[in-house]
């Protein structure tokens, strides 16, 4: 029980990695705020956690809305009394050749993966500072946040994820004085609903079948298999636990060796 008595929140927790992180946190003793734009599915995640004896509550939270972020974070902190761990996991992807990316597509990506991380981190950090809580903020970045030259059709995504890695370092430096650590993880090819969509898009753009694209992901991964949400959730659990108390400003590769630095 590595998060016994802790209070945590995860964005984009209705499916994929966010769901897995919320479930693992709850299994490790945390009370979890399961937040997402998809409230019905977030409520299903909460029901699953409760069925196993865990503690969780669902909130609608669109990370792109400054006012909603402010209101929901205030509600979560008030309901729980404090918050020890915040995970910025919500993200979107679209695959488009660079020459065809529209300003709308660019702005939408920035709103979710750029501004969303900023809004949530600033707001939760303000509460942590006010309450004197030694908090932990963890960002789900991406391998694409470190290797822009090998993430085809994802220039807008690459831009935001490089930003998340940089913001992680900048926040870690400034928030250290308040005993708040800020770290990121950089997953590779993770089997989630996002990946299912990307397999289809990339297949179309490359003239390959989805199975061929899937096999190319495995071929690009030295450890020789697709990555699972659990692979990432376990590292985020470590960063959320007291075992990582003296780690801040890191962006940890969790990708089976697909990118090493
Ligand atoms: P997913 O699409 O399977 O799930 C994303 C969740 O985020 C969904 O529940 C969705 O409703 C929610 N969401 C979308 N927009 C939102 C918003 N504006 N506000 C709040 N919630 C919102 O994605 P995933 O694969 O689980 O990805 C999770 C994170 O990991 C993302 O930040 C993604 O960029 C990153 N990532 C994914 C992969 C991968 O291969 N799947 C690899 C590296 C990094």
pLDDT tens for residues 149-190? 988 999 999 999 999 999 999 999 999 999 999 999 999 999
Question: Catalytic pick from 157, 159, 189, 217?
Answer: 157
**102-108: average pLDDT:** 98
Q: How many domains does the chain contain in total?
A: 1
Q: Is 224 left (phi over 0), alpha (psi -120 to 50) or beta?
A: left
Instruction: Look at residue 22 and tell me if it is in a domain.
Output: yes
Our measurement of the distance from residue 240's CA atom to the centroid of its chain's CA atoms, rounded to an integer in Å, reads 13
**118-123: average pLDDT:** 98
Using the atom order of ligand 1, give the atom closest to the CA of residue 113.
32
Identify the H or E element spanning 182.
strand 181-187
pTM: 0.99
Q: Find all residues with CB under 8 Å of 20, minimum gap 6, and list them.
A: 229, 230, 232, 233
Instruction: Look at residue 194 and tell me if it is in a domain.
Output: no
**Residue 177 lies in domain:** 7-188+228-254
pLDDT tens readout for residues 14-69: 999 999 999 999 999 999 999 999 999 999 999 999 999 999 999 999 999 999 99
Q: What's the chain's length in residues?
A: 261
Our measurement of the distance from residue 183's CA atom to the centroid of its chain's CA atoms, rounded to an integer in Å, reads 11
Distance 177 CA to ligand 1 centre (A): 30
Which tokens sit at 101? 């990316």
Q: How confident is the model at residue 76 (pLDDT cuts 50, 70, 90)?
A: very high
Instruction: Look at residue 2 and tell me if it is in a domain.
Output: no
Distance 135 CA to ligand 1 centre (A): 23
Distance 260 CA to ligand 1 centre (A): 23
How much of the chain, in percent, has pLDDT values that exceed 90? 98
Instruction: Look at residue 212 and tell me if it is in a domain.
Output: no
Q: How confident is the model at residue 110 (pLDDT cuts 50, 70, 90)?
A: very high
Instruction: Look at residue 220 and tell me if it is in a domain.
Output: no
Q: What is the CATH number of the domain that holds 91?
A: 3.40.50.720
Instruction: Look at residue 139 and tell me if it is in a domain.
Output: yes
Q: How confident is the model at residue 195 (pLDDT cuts 50, 70, 90)?
A: very high
Q: Which residues line ligand 1 (CB under 6 A)?
A: 11-12, 14-18, 36-38, 61-64, 89-92, 112, 116, 140, 142, 187, 189-190, 192-195
Instruction: Look at residue 209 and tell me if it is in a domain.
Output: no
236: pLDDT strictly greater than 90: yes
SS3 per residue for 52-104? CCCEEEEEECCCCCHHHHHHHHHHHHHHHCCCCEEEECCCCCCCCCHHHCCHH
How far is 24 from 144, CA to CA, in rounded Å?
Answer: 25
228 is known as an active-site residue: no
133: pLDDT strictly greater than 90: no
pLDDT at 259: 97
Our measurement of the distance from residue 71's CA atom to the centroid of its chain's CA atoms, rounded to an integer in Å, reads 20
């Amino acid at each position: 029980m590595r998060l016994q008595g802790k209070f945590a929140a995860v964005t984009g927790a209705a499916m994929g990695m966010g769901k897995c992180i919320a479930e693992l946190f709850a299994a490790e003793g945390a009370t979890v705020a399961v937040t997402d734009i998809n409230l019905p599915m977030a409520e299903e995640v909460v029901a699953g956690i409760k069925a196993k004896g865990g503690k969780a509550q669902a909130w609608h939270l669109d990370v792109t809305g400054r006012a909603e972020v402010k209101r929901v974070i205030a509600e979560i902190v008030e309901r729980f009394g404090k918050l020890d761990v915040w995970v910025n996991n919500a993200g979107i992807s679209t695959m488009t050749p660079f020459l065809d990316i529209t300003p709308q597509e660019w702005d939408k990506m920035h709103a979710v993966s750029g501004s969303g991380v900023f809004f949530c981190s600033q707001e939760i950090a303000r509460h942590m500072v006010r309450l004197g809580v030694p908090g932990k903020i963890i960002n789900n970045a991406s391998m694409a946040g470190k290797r822009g030259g090998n993430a085809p059709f994802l220039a807008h995504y690459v831009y935001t994820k490089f930003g998340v890695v940089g913001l992680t370092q900048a926040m870690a430096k400034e928030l250290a004085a308040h005993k708040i650590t800020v770290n990121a993880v950089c997953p590779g090819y993770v089997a989630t609903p996002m990946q299912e969509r990307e397999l289809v898009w990339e297949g179309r753009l490359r003239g390959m079948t989805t199975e061929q694209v899937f096999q190319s992901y495995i071929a690009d991964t030295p450890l020789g298999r697709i990555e699972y949400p659990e692979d990432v959730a376990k590292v985020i659990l470590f960063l959320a636990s007291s075992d990582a108390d003296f780690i801040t400003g890191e962006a940890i590769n969790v990708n089976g060796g697909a990118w090493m630095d």
